[in-house]
Amino acid sequence: MVNILAEPIRRVFKSLLSKPTAVIVLSFLFIILIGSTLLALPIASEDGKPTPYIDCFFTATSATCITGLTVVDTADNWSTFGEIVILLMIQIGGLGFITLATFFLSMARKKTSLKSMMLAQESIPSFNLQETVPLIRQILILVVAIEFIGAILLSIEFLPRFGLKGIYYGVFHSISAFCNAGFDLMGGSKSLYDYNRMPLILFTINFLVIVGGLGFIVWKDLLDYRKNKKLLIHTKMVMCLSAFLLAA
């Protein structure tokens, strides 16, 4: 009976793995399951007691899919370990698991297979297969640079208030803002309310949210503008609509 059921399941699973979109969905599900399991550990909670798994699963899903919704306060409920797990899921969700995997394979001088390139192209997406890996490298370098600058600017305000932990706060909120995740470590469900008169924090967070929300295609098109002297219709629409919505 087991063998009879195993064969159809194997065929379905094999069929899913042959489709780039399905692999991307499964990779997100994999990250959510791993993240929720780690968050369910006692070490992940502030009081050392396991958080109900449904709350862990919701938090992991929200972090990986960067929705910004929470059922428990991030600072009050999770330990530093739990916060780092959430931060990693935010970063992976913002960039895409396939994108990161392709980048690290290329950095390790592993030959990128055609299937991996197709997955990465679907995940970004890029314009053609040949430019997929170079584009991923450009994107990740740009992301790290922007998040690093954001972390420095935020740390300028956080260091006097939190001491050396202010650097950690700067890194966390820079990544969270850039990935449009909406998670914060301020506690008491106050978000950034206490910083409503601090321009450096507000403008830095705003900049990170806006730049992160534009998307990979817009970034590449803007970077290539000096060479091509033209912009895609997609880029023009995103830029114009973003400006309009912000002004409105």
Over 42-106, what HEC string results?
HHHECCCCCCCHHHHHHHHHHHHCCCCCCCCCHHHHECHHHHHHHHHHHHHHHHCHHHHHHHHHH
d(CA 65, CA 54): 16
Least-confidence region, from 122-126, 213-217, 243-247 = 122-126
Residue 17 is predicted with a pLDDT of: 52
Least-confidence region, from 23-32, 37-46, 174-183 = 23-32
Residue 2 is predicted with a pLDDT of: 44
Question: Per-domain residue ranges for the chain?
Answer: 2-214
| Residue type at 33 in one-letter notation | L
Can the peptide bond before residue 125 be classed as cis, meaning omega within 30 degrees of 0?
yes
The answer to whether residues 72 and 44 touch, using CB atoms and an 8 Å cutoff, is no
Question: Across the chain, what does the average pLDDT equal?
Answer: 80
d(CA 62, CA 181): 8
Higher pLDDT, 180 or 151: 151
Whether residue 6 is predicted with pLDDT greater than 60 in this model: the reply is no
